[in-house]
A = this chain, B = another copy of it.
Protein backbone atom coordinates (compact mmCIF):
# COMPACT_ATOMS: atom_id res chain seq x y z
CA UNK A 1 0.00 0.00 0.00
CA UNK A 2 1.54 3.26 -1.13
CA UNK A 3 0.49 5.24 1.89
CA UNK A 4 2.42 3.40 4.52
CA UNK A 5 5.79 4.18 2.99
CA UNK A 6 5.07 7.46 1.23
CA UNK A 7 7.05 10.28 2.82
CA UNK A 8 4.24 12.83 2.45
CA UNK A 9 1.80 10.51 4.17
CA UNK A 10 4.26 9.59 6.92
CA UNK A 11 4.98 13.25 7.60
CA UNK A 12 1.28 13.95 7.96
CA UNK A 13 0.66 11.05 10.31
CA UNK A 14 3.68 11.77 12.48
CA UNK A 15 3.03 15.50 12.49
CA UNK A 16 -0.53 14.94 13.67
CA UNK A 17 0.69 12.59 16.35
CA UNK A 18 3.27 15.13 17.53
CA UNK A 19 0.57 17.78 17.65
CA UNK A 20 -1.85 15.66 19.68
CA UNK A 21 0.93 14.63 22.04
CA UNK A 22 2.05 18.21 22.53
CA UNK A 23 -1.53 19.27 23.23
CA UNK A 24 -1.69 16.70 26.03
CA UNK A 25 1.60 17.81 27.57
CA UNK A 26 0.74 21.51 27.35
CA UNK A 27 -2.72 21.17 28.83
CA UNK A 28 -1.56 21.33 32.47
CA UNK A 29 0.07 24.66 31.61
CA UNK A 30 -3.21 26.02 30.22
CA UNK A 31 -1.61 26.28 26.78
CA UNK A 32 -2.27 24.77 23.39
CA UNK A 33 0.21 24.14 20.58
CA UNK A 34 -0.87 27.17 18.60
CA UNK A 35 0.19 29.47 21.45
CA UNK A 36 3.84 28.53 21.12
CA UNK A 37 4.51 30.47 17.95
CA UNK A 38 3.08 33.61 19.49
CA UNK A 39 5.10 33.22 22.67
CA UNK A 40 8.28 32.67 20.69
CA UNK A 41 7.74 35.82 18.63
CA UNK A 42 6.85 38.00 21.58
CA UNK A 43 9.75 36.63 23.60
CA UNK A 44 12.12 38.40 21.24
CA UNK A 45 10.46 41.79 21.20
CA UNK A 46 7.01 43.37 21.67
CA UNK A 47 4.95 43.18 18.50
CA UNK A 48 1.71 44.61 17.11
CA UNK A 49 -1.17 42.15 16.72
CA UNK A 50 -1.47 42.36 12.96
CA UNK A 51 2.26 41.78 12.64
CA UNK A 52 1.88 38.70 14.83
CA UNK A 53 -0.97 37.48 12.64
CA UNK A 54 1.14 37.89 9.53
CA UNK A 55 4.17 36.24 11.12
CA UNK A 56 2.22 33.22 12.34
CA UNK A 57 0.13 33.01 9.17
CA UNK A 58 -3.22 33.08 10.89
CA UNK A 59 -6.22 35.41 10.68
CA UNK A 60 -6.10 38.54 12.85
CA UNK A 61 -9.37 37.57 14.54
CA UNK A 62 -7.77 34.32 15.67
CA UNK A 63 -4.81 36.19 17.11
CA UNK A 64 -7.24 38.23 19.19
CA UNK A 65 -8.62 35.03 20.70
CA UNK A 66 -5.22 33.51 21.33
CA UNK A 67 -3.99 36.68 22.98
CA UNK A 68 -7.10 36.81 25.15
CA UNK A 69 -6.19 33.34 26.35
CA UNK A 70 -2.55 34.23 26.99
CA UNK A 71 -3.70 37.40 28.69
CA UNK A 72 -5.99 35.40 30.98
CA UNK A 73 -2.95 33.34 31.97
CA UNK A 74 -1.04 36.53 32.73
CA UNK A 75 1.52 35.55 30.10
CA UNK A 76 1.24 38.63 27.89
CA UNK A 77 0.30 42.27 28.24
CA UNK A 78 -1.22 44.53 25.58
CA UNK A 79 0.33 47.98 25.69
CA UNK A 80 -1.17 50.78 23.63
CA UNK A 81 1.45 52.20 21.27
CA UNK A 82 1.76 55.90 22.07
CA UNK A 83 3.12 56.72 18.65
CA UNK A 84 0.09 55.15 16.93
CA UNK A 85 -2.76 54.72 19.34
CA UNK A 86 -4.52 52.13 17.13
CA UNK A 87 -1.81 49.59 17.77
CA UNK A 88 -1.42 47.30 20.73
CA UNK A 89 2.12 46.21 21.41
CA UNK A 90 2.02 42.71 22.83
CA UNK A 91 4.76 42.00 25.32
CA UNK A 92 5.69 38.99 27.39
CA UNK A 93 5.38 39.23 31.18
CA UNK A 94 7.84 37.58 33.54
CA UNK A 95 5.24 34.89 34.16
CA UNK A 96 4.91 34.51 30.40
CA UNK A 97 8.64 34.05 30.05
CA UNK A 98 8.60 31.29 32.67
CA UNK A 99 5.58 29.69 31.01
CA UNK A 100 7.26 29.79 27.63
CA UNK A 101 10.32 28.08 29.09
CA UNK A 102 8.17 25.28 30.50
CA UNK A 103 6.25 24.93 27.24
CA UNK A 104 9.46 24.59 25.27
CA UNK A 105 10.58 21.87 27.68
CA UNK A 106 7.34 19.97 26.92
CA UNK A 107 7.98 20.41 23.20
CA UNK A 108 11.46 18.99 23.69
CA UNK A 109 9.87 16.08 25.59
CA UNK A 110 7.70 15.23 22.58
CA UNK A 111 10.76 15.12 20.38
CA UNK A 112 12.62 12.94 22.86
CA UNK A 113 9.68 10.54 23.07
CA UNK A 114 9.24 10.33 19.35
CA UNK A 115 12.84 9.82 18.28
CA UNK A 116 13.47 7.27 21.05
CA UNK A 117 13.45 4.30 18.63
CA UNK A 118 16.19 5.86 16.49
CA UNK A 119 19.93 5.59 16.93
CA UNK A 120 21.63 8.91 17.70
CA UNK A 121 23.02 9.12 14.20
CA UNK A 122 19.67 8.26 12.61
CA UNK A 123 17.98 10.89 14.78
CA UNK A 124 20.57 13.39 13.71
CA UNK A 125 20.08 12.57 10.04
CA UNK A 126 16.32 12.92 10.52
CA UNK A 127 16.60 16.33 12.14
CA UNK A 128 18.93 17.51 9.43
CA UNK A 129 16.68 16.27 6.63
CA UNK A 130 13.56 17.81 8.18
CA UNK A 131 15.33 21.11 8.68
CA UNK A 132 16.39 21.12 5.04
CA UNK A 133 12.84 20.41 3.89
CA UNK A 134 11.31 23.02 6.19
CA UNK A 135 13.72 25.61 4.83
CA UNK A 136 12.03 25.46 1.42
CA UNK A 137 8.53 26.17 2.72
Question: Which residue in B9, B122, B133 is a CB contact (below 8 Å) of A115?
Answer: B133
Question: Which of A10, A19, A128 has the most chain B CB atoms inside 10 A of its CB?
Answer: A10
The docked-state distance in angstroms from the alpha carbon of A110 to that of B7 is: 9
A8 CB within 8 Å of chain B? yes
Distance (whole angstroms) from the CB of A56 to the closest CB of chain B: 11
A62 CB within 8 Å of chain B? no
Given contacts A9-B18, A12-B19, contact A132 B118 (CB under 8 A): yes
Q: Chain A interface residue count: which class?
A: 35 or more
Given contacts A40-B3, A104-B2, contact A14 B110 (CB under 8 A): no
Residues of B within 8 A of A40 (CB): 1-3
Given contacts A15-B13, A104-B2, A129-B125, contact A8 B111 (CB under 8 A): yes
Q: Taking beta carbons and an 8 Å cutoff, which residues of A are in contact with B?
A: 1-19, 21-22, 33, 36-37, 40, 104, 107-108, 110-111, 114-115, 117-118, 122-123, 125-137
